[in-house]
Structure 1
Amino acid sequence: MEFFTSYDGLALAFRTLGDGPPLLCLPGGPGRAAEYLGDLGGLSAHRTLILPDTRGTGASAMPPDLASCRVDLLVADVEALRCHLGLDRVDLLGHSAGGSLAMLYAAAHPDRLDSLTLVTPSFAAVGLPSGNGAEEVIAARAAEPWHTEAVTAHGHMMAANTFAEAASYRFAFEPLMYGRWDDAARAHAAADPTQRSLPVSEHYYRDYTPDSQGLRRRLQALRCPVLLLAGEVDLWPTAKSASDAAPLFSNATLAIQPGAGHYPWLDDPQAFTATVAGFLARPVPVSGGW
């Protein structure tokens, strides 16, 4: 584990894993330590993964003011890490709520990106829905033995007002977030409570109101290539929501991974790695354009 000092003096942690050009990977949750990303299904064989713990999570210090954990303010932590690493430009990956953060970083620092990879991202940062068609996805899995219990838990979670209220229903709900509810998925889901900082979860979007028009204008102007990867059976975002959001970007590749849920590197590591590594292997832009 390594540490750097962010803009406000807070000590934040990150670890590196793998070999190859660096890929900065922003975890989601929101408020879950980057440990849950693992090696992203073997992507570390192609890239050096830089895996930061969001402030207040994992080995990163808890800020005295939790308001600094709001998604738009976390952009400054990402920029501080880029500077600490001495990277003029970065390949940036964001998963889930980390996808929202990655989009905000891209809008604020477009000149610092060589590529943007959004893995099953939340679109809350840009004011777009993530759950279009979710009921159809849930109904299509009705033959699964866990389905009834998971749907009941899903209802409780949707009715909860806080992450803390939803916490007791999360594990029963989790089968809906994986393409396969096997031993690996159960172990991954069971680790959530020990990896999640509920105070950070609660403050991640609190009092955040997106400048939707301004953000969409800046994202549309991005010159770097964008990969938008969704899972076929994911709920947040659904494949439909991801498809609807793809026009946010002028240079986007949309990939829907068959049979995958919210953690596609677990459902089919080979397919996930082939998609992301293939995208990242595209030629580097020259003369400021593609």
Structure 2
Amino acid sequence: MDQAVWTEDGIRLWAAKTGDGEPVVFCHGGPGLWDMMADVAADLSAVATVCRWDQRGCGRSQRQGPYSVERTVADLDAVRAHFGWDRVALLGHSWGAQLALRYTLAHPDRVAKLVYVSGTGIDDDSTWHAGYERNLRNALGTRLTRWESLAAKERTAEEDQEYCVLQWSADFAERALQHAEAMADPWFGVNFACNAALNREHSPDLRAGCERLDVPALIVDGTADIRPRSAVDSLEQALPVVSRVRLSAGHLPWVEDPAGFHSAVSRFLAGP
């Protein structure tokens, strides 16, 4: 059932809760997107109480800033507190994996477990971003020319959606456009201002904090993700209590290997 969560500065966030069991809060990707993990929530609801929410300014939440990582961490804590949970598991995807990690480092006593899906690790972006850009263009193939033309112009709302669908198609190993079009249904419109503000922030060195983190973590990768998976190696090496699962999939592994994703995540959440 949909619920309104109010932040300390009066912003309304959309959230929804399903299932039964220990609480798991999802952190969607972006920044500037919205929760697209309804299928994952339905799948995991048999083993957990799943909370989905749209981040500030995104999707079904109030489209208003300010936008910052610190503010988004505080919003995530508002979601946790709204449901009356002392401790939760976090499942973050892509940018949301970084958000979940940052929250866990800030509030380790409030996180029971961390599932880090398709994130980009703790090293500087310069270590992986050039490889990502090359892989993106290669994966777009014949769609590259149209994507570049849309990227270079001021777009209409319809062109924004087309641009995003084309870019998202590179995140899948198979049936790329079909999966990307499904991501855009329903379409809430990307908050590009939020995306730009959060991407401008310089990420602090998280290594020392990760090395002290006594929270069990599961890293889930898709081996066909166009973001080089080597970017996550240093995070895996830094976390004291960590396991890693590699699936034959792209950036959204639950779409292309749902059985493998469910097995890995449900087993981890059910474990000690």
Aligned to 2:69: 71
- Is 1:248 the counterpart of 2:238 in the alignment? yes
Provide the C-alpha distance between the structure 1 equivalents of 2:147 and 2:211, rounded to a whole number of angstroms: 34
Aligned to 2:124, which of 123, 127, 132?
127
Provide the C-alpha distance between the structure 2 equivalents of 1:135 and 1:197, rounded to a whole number of angstroms: 21
Following superposition, the deviation at residue 136 of structure 1 comes to 8.1
Aligned to 2:39: 39
Letter in 2 for 1:209: H
Letter in 2 for 1:47: A
Gaps of 5+ in 2: none
Following superposition, the deviation at residue 88 of structure 1 comes to 1.2
Matches within 5 A, 1:16-27: 16-27=17-28
Aligned to 1:3: 4
Aligned to 1:257: 247
Give 3-state SS (helix, strand or coil) of 1:272's partner. helix
Count of residue pairs brought into register by the alignment: 267
Aligned to 2:207, which of 216, 223, 226?
216
Aligned to 1:82: 80
Task: State the TM-score, normalized to the length of structure 2.
Answer: 0.84
Structure 1 pair 130–86 and aligned structure 2 pair: CA distance change class (3 A): farther
Aligned to 2:167: 173
Provide the C-alpha distance between the structure 1 equivalents of 2:177 and 2:151, rounded to a whole number of angstroms: 26
Letter in 2 for 1:173: Q
Kept in 2: contact 1:178–1:263 (CA 8 A): yes
- Is 1:280 the counterpart of 2:269 in the alignment? yes
Following superposition, the deviation at residue 181 of structure 1 comes to 1.5
Provide the C-alpha distance between the structure 2 equivalents of 1:138 and 1:12, rounded to a whole number of angstroms: 32
Structure 1 pair 159–140 and aligned structure 2 pair: CA distance change class (3 A): closer
Following superposition, the deviation at residue 49 of structure 1 comes to 1.3
Provide the C-alpha distance between the structure 2 equivalents of 1:246 and 1:156, rounded to a whole number of angstroms: 38
Matches within 5 A, 1:202-241: 202-206=196-200, 208-212=201-205, 215-236=206-227, 238-241=228-231
Following superposition, the deviation at residue 245 of structure 1 comes to 3.2
Following superposition, the deviation at residue 240 of structure 1 comes to 2.3
Structure 1 pair 44–248 and aligned structure 2 pair: CA distance change class (3 A): same
Provide the C-alpha distance between the structure 2 equivalents of 1:31 and 1:108, rounded to a whole number of angstroms: 22
Following superposition, the deviation at residue 15 of structure 1 comes to 0.5
Provide the C-alpha distance between the structure 1 equivalents of 2:244 and 2:132, rounded to a whole number of angstroms: 19
Kept in 2: contact 1:17–1:39 (CA 8 A): no
Following superposition, the deviation at residue 8 of structure 1 comes to 1.1
Letter in 1 for 2:221: A
Gaps of 5+ in 1: 142-146, 284-290
Provide the C-alpha distance between the structure 1 equivalents of 2:223 and 2:69, rounded to a whole number of angstroms: 26
Aligned to 2:106: 108
Letter in 1 for 2:99: L
The one-character-per-residue Cα deviations of 1:102-131 (angstroms, maximum 9, x if unpaired) are 1111111111111111111144x7635444
Identity among equivalent pairs (%): 29
Give 3-state SS (helix, strand or coil) of 1:73's partner. helix
Structure 1 pair 137–43 and aligned structure 2 pair: CA distance change class (3 A): farther
Give 3-state SS (helix, strand or coil) of 2:33's partner. coil
Structure 1 pair 13–166 and aligned structure 2 pair: CA distance change class (3 A): closer
